[in-house]
Structure 1
């Protein structure tokens, strides 16, 4: 590790080195700020530079350690925060020019938990307008590029988070996910993540106090979470972010490690619906992940999942109905033409429900979730593609509403469907296709992030990590 540049160290190793006095928090922070200065201009991943504040926090962290103070799990470790999360004194713009002066009066729940753990916030990362595109660009901060290839998307809406941590800017990046916004950037950028169970990580922005709360199903389908370069770092980020915050009424004090499952653990390797247009090379890599699990002692069986098409449609109808009723007017008032093109594409795949239809859909969600939970009793791990196609261009969703519909319905159907269930789902890279990363999704039962991450770690142990190949390009 000594010969490896500090910015390439894992979060686990960085925290350990600082704790043992092998390196100071100030040295580590300076290394990451230097990396940000070198790599970010080509990416535009970090759009608010908090370098000055970070250096002060790092010096304070070193003084605290020198006095023998108690050290948090991320003491001195540089992290980034997605710009749709409140950081006291900074604007939560959510990528919208009209909200550029929406200054946070206090830290969000996740920001607070990261600070309590000793993390050093070095910058805020980019997101699309309203965090409602799978591609990261907005009129306020511009386009974020993928470090592997500027012609393809870095994903969204946590695209700035995914791009930055893959490039070595920060050891852990914060993101959030309502339809794939953690998992899609992990896939696109060749890194790992987990969308936790709904209620695992507390969610609250003090800027919410200025307006209405989010719609009910948006609250149930959205999760905060970490993106990182290894499964071990994702696990550490999850542990830190999951600490209690009384401002979130949905937070659940569930243990991070559940009862040990009897082996061999059965894995449902998802059959691909007949109507999905797939890329053979992508599917081949997904099968490789299944082989890695089998070689690691899992009992892998290729089976059909419980109505993936109906589950996806339920997600699309519920989220689109809530947007149409409570959010679309503001989106049309403040959103750009490109954003509206993408929004129309999402709506093209949805049925906007009336009052009775919306209430019935919420009721139906319980039945759908019950079916998945019973399936997970037999198969505690589910392995699926994130996308059945290679990563698209950086602006594919604004080519036409029809193209947006195709992306969501065909390419990433296995991804977005999981949000309506509120189940934990991780992503881990499994290989490169034309020198660009491909990852897979692992789904588990409620509050069994440990089972999901164990399976992700088993794949990672066989496949390795891939950002080192990215960094080797210079």
Structure 2
């Protein structure tokens, strides 16, 4: 990687502001890195270099004009392919939308562009973002920069691979049941699932949806804070507004772990199987918290209601969002999506009422837990990156699963709580595969969570280790230049 490709987003934006690096030079480095590594990992699936060049040149004119510069001024960025970018092919990894070119940006894209981002294309996703392994029938499989025959995770797997490999330092993903956290753990980067409404992106037709969150992924916690400063804030569609805005993420991240009450839970009290190598890395890193002055105990909130809350809410959301597509194009939709939609259609009023009661009990359990503990620490993923040819792991540590969600339960359980969660690199196995924690705090303590994460990051510096991607180690797939509306 060259010097620009190694920069954090914070450093690169600052260099552009100081005119040490131009937005055009940043874009050239970004496109060069895609050319170098993307054939091995298939992270970026659509490119629009002409549009990106025009935007970069406009950014450079603004730099010298004396105008006020936005917080992400000149930063090149591909976007998750489940997010619509006006004029750029946006497929959601589905054959139904293989040639779809939206005319309007999704809310998160509009915010990023107002913040100064130079949009360059799209990163790969599983079909409709369903599942934590990134493959689809339109673009194929995204693989892991640390081992390009293994999974990069998902659904923000294309983004995770792009960030880890130096294509870009920062980007936006989304997370229903671990779609930021699992790929962050697999690829050794940081993923952040904010509290509800902090980045308000409700789906069409449901302003009250709460399970899926939009959030950033980066190599460093400070870049996550920069992203939140740039895009967090209220939307007229989400009421009442969240009590956290972009201004809460300004200033230096001066984290301090002294006196922080940390609960370590290897299985979230649910008996979840976790691969021994994952636990070995994470348990070895608990001493980092202790040496920094934290009080670490093995404990967990009562999450017995979490699975009912997650599965019921997920099924309802899938039926609402994708039900019409499944009815019309069932043969073009992968079976996991069809199964989730059908689960939503099959829910009875009794089951929906029961899930409401379960969510109420879960909230009470979390209030009791956070009266005693400040921070919950648990595995971000139950498994190491697995063979990318699989659809999903059939078993975890010898325990057979019953479906494609079972190997993701450590992430799904925390999604059900609604808490903000930060996936953070913790270390590497003996064979060099990344392993990550997920850290969670009470509702709307998002900025505090980033400070605590930064304090851990400063003591481990996992960010300083980067993958070496060699030709011939992965699949050779080139990004497709978009058919754009001009």
- TM-score with structure 2 length normalisation? 0.86
Match of 1:370 in 2: 364
Q: Is 1:418 the equivalent of 2:414?
A: yes
Name the structure 2 match of 1:276.
Answer: 272
Q: Secondary structure at the match of 2:62?
A: helix
Q: CA deviation at 1:22?
A: 1.1
CA contact (8 A) 1:190 1:467 kept: no
1:222 corresponds to 2:220: no
Asked whether the equivalents of residues 128 and 135 of structure 1 are also in contact (C-alpha less than 8 Å), the reply is: yes
Out of 374, 382, 387, the position equivalent to 1:380 is 374
Q: How does 1:75-94 map to 2 (within 5 A)?
A: 75-94=73-92
- Residue 32 of structure 1 corresponds to 30
Distance 1:312 1:405, change over 3 A: same
What displacement does 1:42 show? 1.7
Structure 1 residues 5-27: Cα deviation after superposition (integer angstroms, max 9, x where no partner) = 21110001001111111111111
In 2, Cα distance between the equivalents of 1:157 and 1:321? 19
Q: Please give the per-residue CA displacement for 1:130-173, whole angstroms capped at 9, x wherever unaligned.
A: 11121111111221111111222111111111111111112212
1:457 matched to 2:454? The reply is yes
Q: CA deviation at 1:56?
A: 1.1
Counterpart in the other structure of 2:440: 443
Q: Which moved more, 1:34-43 or 1:186-195?
A: 34-43
Is contact 1:269-1:382 (8 Å) kept? Answer: yes
User: 1 CA distance for matches of 2:113 and 2:289?
Assistant: 36
Q: Which has the higher contact order (CA 8 A, sep 6+)?
A: 2
Provide the alpha-carbon RMSD of the alignment: 3.0
Greater mean deviation of Cα atoms: 65-74 or 412-421: 412-421
Distance 1:82 1:204, change over 3 A: same
Which residue is 1:468 aligned to? 465
Unaligned runs of 5+ in 1: none
**407 and 325 in structure 1: CA distance in 2 versus 1, 3 angstrom threshold:** closer
Residue 32 to residue 322, structure 1, CA distance change in 2 (3 Å): closer
How many positions carry a matched residue from both structures? 460
**In the superposition, relative to structure 1, how do residues 126 and 13 fare at CA in structure 2: closer, same or farther (>3 Å)?**
same
Shift of the 330–297 alpha-carbon distance from structure 1 to 2, 3 Å rule, reads same
Q: How does 1:269-418 map to 2 (within 5 A)?
A: 269-272=264-267, 273=269, 275-307=271-303, 309-323=304-318, 327-328=322-323, 330-331=325-326, 334=329, 339-340=334-335, 344=339, 353-397=347-391, 405=402, 408-409=405-406, 411-418=407-414
Q: CA deviation at 1:317?
A: 2.8
Counterparts of 2:379 and 2:229, CA distance in 1: 26
Q: For residues 287-329 of structure 1, what are the alpha-carbon distances to aligned partners after superposition, in whole Å with 9 as ceiling and x for unaligned?
A: 233221121222111113222x431232023312553577356
In proportion to residue count, which structure has more helix? 1
Asked if structure 1 preserves the Cα contact closer than 8 Å seen for 2:130 and 2:336, the reply is no
2:93–2:138 contact (8 Å) kept in structure 1 = yes
More displaced 10-residue stretch of structure 1: 5-14 or 277-286:
277-286
The answer to which of 394-403 and 67-76 deviates more is 394-403
In structure 2, do the counterparts of structure 1 residues 451 and 82 end up closer, same or farther at CA, with 3 Å as the change threshold?
Answer: same
The CA distance in 2 between the partners of 1:263 and 1:312, in whole Å, is 33
SS in 1 for 2:155: coil
Aligned residue for 2:259? Answer: 264
Q: Is the 8 A contact 2:145 2:469 kept in 1?
A: no
Q: How does 1:151-170 map to 2 (within 5 A)?
A: 151-170=149-168
Go from structure 1 to structure 2 and tell me whether the alpha carbon gap of 1:389 and 1:356 turns closer, same or farther (over 3 Å shift). Answer: same
Partners of 1:163 and 1:331 lie apart in 2 by 30
Equivalent residue, structure 1, for 2:474 = none
